Amino acid sequence: MDVLVIHLVNALLYASVLFLIAGGLSLIYGVMRIVNMAHGNLYAFGAYVTAWAIGSVAGGAPTVLLLVLLPVGALAAAVLGAVLEPTLLRPFYRRAEEYQLLVTFGLLMILEDLLRFIWGPYPLSASEVFENFGSLTIGDSLYPTYNFLVIGVGIVAAIFLWGVIYKTRFGVVLRATSQNMRMASALGVNVNRVYIQAFTLGCFMAGLGGAIIVPGQSAVLGMGIDAVVLAFIVVVVGGLGSLEGALVGALIVGVVREAGITWFPEIELAVLYLIAAIVLLVRPAGLFGRP
Amino acid sequence: MSLLVTKNLVKYFGDTHAVDHVDFTVKEREVLALIGSNGAGKTTLVNLISGLFPPDSGQILFRGQDVTHESVHGRISAGIARSFQLVNLFDQLSALDNVALTIFSREGKTRKLASLASADHAVWDEALEILRLFGLEGKAQMLAGGVSQGERKLLDVAIAYALRPKLLFLDEPTSGVSTREKTPIMDTVTSVVRSRGISAAIIEHDMDVVFNYSDRIVAMHQGAILADGTPDEIRRNEAVTTTLIGTTGPR
Amino acid sequence: MSTPAVTASANAREAGSVRTVLRWAVPVAVLLLVVPWIVPPYTAILLTYGLVMAIGALGFNLLLGYTGLLSFGHSAYFGVGAYVVALMVKYLGVGSMELFLFGAIIGSVIVTAVFGWVCVRYTRIFFSILTLALSQVLWSLAFKFFWVTGGTDGLRVPTPSLLVGLVTGQGDKTDFMSHAYYHYVLVVFFAAVALMWVIVNSPFGKALQAIRDNETRAEFVGVQIWRYRFVAFLVSGVFTGLAGALWVPLNGLTTPDIIHWSFSGEIVFMTVLGGFRSFAGPIVGAVVFNYLKTYAVGYTVYWQLLLGAVLVALVLSLPTGIVGTAGRLAARWKKVS
Ligand SMILES: Nc1ncnc2c1ncn2[C@@H]1O[C@H](COP(=O)(O)OP(=O)(O)OP(=O)(O)O)[C@@H](O)[C@H]1O
Ligand SMILES: [Mg+2]
């Protein structure tokens, strides 16, 4: 019983981080119709920046200070996104989809090495935060308290996004642009501004995912490339461009991953990719996608 | 004898009754004009018959065979071909290639991987012949994406014609074309159709063109057939004159 | 206007008539044949890698350039080719290159048939993501089933015997690779290029281009889109699988890295570098990319950054790639003179 609870919490932990990454990816696709292959690198960037920020304050700093530093990675990713969209992506909106994929793939390669250039080839950790939180007991076992914070952030982010998209003026503009960019533009929406805002928000989410995970597991090279493939699975399952889809997809992938690691570790990843393939066969647009 | 018969054909898009219980027939060897205001359901009717999407209900009979659930490929083999309202070409292939590909496909030769297309002289001869028929031989080597709007319309028709159909649907072959160009296009199209003894159903907004070139006219309104008759009968039909003529024109 | 002349010039824009192609191909072929005697062995081996990748990229481009489908999962078929060979060595003790190629073709037909059956229902970004996800299935299997695949350590493949045992790689490995194996690869390369050239210029190839340009209209001239895409997918995957089989003896080792999707990215990269709108593009791209990467890796640890910047610059300013740009320059030069 307790074991099941722990597995469930672990699944939620994965799901929270995945939702942040995949939600950002999906948001960007929904509004801009662009799939950013380098999205995982923004997640990695967030992780590195946060780990670096926390590592740079002397040991023994109060946990509160460390927590304040936590979101730095998310902000850094957002800034990076705000710079990248107008400079690198904007010239490609009128070009074929293949070129958009290619340019973001080039970006992926560049960002991957930039991380190595700035922080070197070794893992960077921020485990101090993780340890400061200690652990609590579930049944007979100890479980890290910090993980609950990650889940909490995931939940808050989901609610926050829902609010932004369905309850604010900005959300109305965002949805209008995503449904019909030309029409929105004709109605006076500044599409360029919406694009940069959406892209920045998407990158912020990815960065936040990296920032909150890094106390629990170190930032390493290649983490972004692995993450973006998982995010693809989430959005494929949930439906590209749908935030509800990203949420449900993240939960499914989180649960399957946790089950896989526990009961069928050899084929854990294979099962995930197969689920994505099956969902696409049955529902080509994903569970929540518009066909 | 009727070549094509639809029975109670229905297609709704949400609340839009695009095609609403339509019984539509095309006879052998006739040039039929399908008219109706914007949104009357003409294109949707052609989409249903040509197999772009299935009807909600109803039946389509072609030469006595039920083709309601036939694939597009099957309908083409049976002899139904169409052109498109918004020109639909292979823009990065030459005009000649556009037609030649169609012939290769018709002959089942596109299954061949291991022979050069250029070696099949019979196909290229026929393709050039068809371009000549539509007055396009001068553009044979130009990319389909690079010729004028009127020529693109004609090429679209030429492709459909190259399938050797028994029934040819032409969706506004003269739309987006200058008034001066309309007459030659319609002359070309109808003379080709009549000389080969096939039937054509032509969607058209220009009433002068309609009255000049068709044997029979079917008028649609809000998804249903409003009137069906010879040009003279339609000219005198009050329902048609009040709802259609005068209120619509080429867009 | 006599018809043969028309047809010849009609296809000239696409690929050139047989005669114009031969005017190019024969000198290049002769040059390639004598390369091992005029360059150092190391360069010849690098070129062998380039030719092997060219076969793979050629297959890939049947989908991208001719059918309009961007696969981000061709590492899978390359990997199948390579791992089939490695497993034949490990479990069957096979050492003949012909048997390797045969096995790789069978293996890649099976895998591409299954993957293709799923993937050809989709186009555009969905196709890209799905091919990527499926290739990752294979990657994770190669990675996790280490008792079969050697995991991250991979599997070693010794020097094979060529031409049903007539040529064996007993002596110096460098010498073998830069001469006998180079020529072996070259012959397979010639065959693959000739075959692909016929395929893209066949009626079937025309149908693929029609699907690429306008799917709806292709359907309405009677082309059964899924079937054609499926066959294209199959041919494409088998070419890439063949490349994988030729690659593995050269490299002597296969690891899961070649199945990872970032390797698919490299295949895409080389094709775009050469130009995916032209037949020769992937060939030129693969050879150049191979030198570029080798040079970049030797020059800096930040070679990815370098290559990434090249890719971005390429897509921004030279979307037709090396071959397309060269063709344009040549045309301009002709006009001037
Ligand atoms: N794919 C579709 N999805 C939703 N609604 C559609 C679709 N196709 C057509 N409609 C609607 O069905 C109605 C009939 O459209 P249709 O295109 O058949 O008209 P039409 O007679 O061809 O008009 P036009 O002269 O403008 O071409 C219109 O209200 C149109 O908006
Ligand atoms: Mg219409």
DSSP string of C219-271, one letter each residue: HHTT--HHHHHHHHHHHHHHHHHHHHHHHHHHHSEE-GGGTSHHHHHHHHHHH
Name the A residues in 163-222 with CB < 8 Å from any C CB: none
CATH for B1-79+165-251, among 3.40.50.300, 3.40.50.2000, 3.50.30.30, 1.10.150.120? Answer: 3.40.50.300
| Least confident span in A23-27, A127-131, C300-304 | A127-131
How many Å apart are CA A183 and CA A179, to the nearest integer? 9
**Nearest by CB: C129 against A99, A108, A236:** A236
Task: Look up residue C181 and give its amino acid.
Answer: Y
Structure tokens at A245: 């889809």
Give the residue with greater pLDDT, C9 vs B69.
Answer: B69
Q: Angle at CA A243, nearest 5°, toward A182 and A208? A: 110
- What pLDDT does residue A58 have? 62
Mean predicted confidence (pLDDT) in A10-37: 90
DSSP state of A266: G
When pLDDT is cut at 50, 70 and 90, the band that residue C185 belongs to is very high
Tell whether A165 is covered by a domain.
Answer: yes
Q: Kindly report, residue by residue over A234-244, the tens digit of the pLDDT.
A: 988 888 888 88
Residue B246: pLDDT band by 50, 70, 90 thresholds?
low
Query: Is the minimum CB–CB distance between A236 and chain C shorter than 8 Å?
Result: yes
Nearest one of C236, C228, C195, C204 to C112, comparing CA atoms: C236
Is residue C170 predicted with pLDDT exceeding 80? no
* C253 C-beta neighbours (distance < 10 Å), count: 13
Please, are residues B124 and B211 in contact by the beta-carbon 8 Å criterion?
Answer: no
User: Is residue A176 assigned to a domain?
Assistant: yes
In tens, the pLDDT along C16-54 reads: 567 777 887 888 888 888 788 888 888 888 999 999 999
What pLDDT was estimated at residue A63? 78
In angstroms, the CA A3 to CA B220 distance is 69
Q: Whose CA is nearest to atom 17 of ligand 1?
A: B43
Neighbours of chain B (3+ CB pairs under 8 A): C
Class of residue B16 by CB neighbours under 10 A (exposed 0-12, middle 13-18, buried 19+): middle
Q: What ranges do the domains of chain C cover?
A: 40-258
The reply to whether residue A35 touches residue C125, judged by beta carbons under 8 angstroms, is: yes
Q: Is residue A249 part of a domain?
A: no
| Cβ separation A284–C122 shorter than 8 A | yes
pTM: 0.88
Question: According to the model, what pLDDT value does residue C1 have?
Answer: 34
Residue C7 makes CB contacts below 8 A (sequence gap 6+) with: B118, B121, B124
Q: How many CB atoms lie under 10 A from the CB of residue A95?
A: 14
Q: How buried is A243 (Cβ within 10 angstroms: 0-12 exposed, 13-18 middle, 19+ buried)?
A: buried
Quick check: C262 and C132 in contact, CB under 8 A? Answer: no
Q: Specify the pLDDT at position A84.
A: 92
**pLDDT confidence of residue C102:** 94
Say what the pLDDT of residue A1 is: 65
Mean pLDDT estimate for chain C: 86
Contacts of B139 (CB under 8 A, 6+ apart): B95, B131, B147, B151, B155
Give residue C229's pLDDT. Answer: 94
The answer to whether residue C271 scores a pLDDT higher than 90 is yes
Which pLDDT does position A290 carry in this prediction?
64
Mean pLDDT of C249-278: 90
- When the pLDDT of each residue in chain A is averaged and rounded to a whole number, the result is 86
> Residue A43: which of A51, A33, A31 has the closest Cα?
A51
Q: Give, in degrees to the nearest 5, the angle at Cα C277 between A113 and B106.
A: 140
B8: helix, coil or strand?
A: strand
pLDDT, tens digit, 9 for 90 and up, residues B74-103: 999 999 999 998 888 999 899 999 999 999
Asked if pLDDT for residue A285 goes beyond 80, the answer is: no
Question: Which of helix, strand or coil describes residue A137?
Answer: strand
| pLDDT of amino acid C9 | 38
- Tell me if A171 sits within 8 A of A8, measured CB to CB: no
Are C268 and A105 a contacting pair at CB < 8 A? yes
Return the minimum-mean-pLDDT range out of A150-159, B237-246, C45-54, C253-262. B237-246
Conformational region of residue B237, where left means phi above 0, alpha means psi within -120 to 50, and beta covers everything else? beta
Average pLDDT over residues B17-35: 90
Listed in sequence order, the DSSP H helices in chain B are 42-50, 72-78, 95-106, 121-133, 149-162, 179-195, 207-213, 231-236, 238-243
Nearest neighbour of C222 by CB, restricted to B73, B118, B125: B73
Q: Name the phi and psi angles at B26, rounded to 5.
A: -125, 130
Dist CA A138 CA A141 (whole Å): 5
In the predicted structure, residue B215 carries a pLDDT above the cut 80: yes
Host H or E run for residue C303 = helix C303-317
Residue A231 has pLDDT above 60, yes or no: yes
Record the tokens describing residue B161, joined without a space: 């014609």
Distance in Å, CA C136 to ligand 2 centroid: 45
On the question of pLDDT at B249 being above 50, the answer is no
Are A284 and C121 inside 8 Å of each other by CB?
yes
Cα dihedral sign for A109, A114, A117, A120? negative
How many domains is chain A partitioned into structurally?
Answer: 1
The confidence band for C244, taking pLDDT boundaries of 50, 70 and 90, is very high
Task: Provide CATH 3.40.50.300 ranges for chain B.
Answer: 1-79+165-251
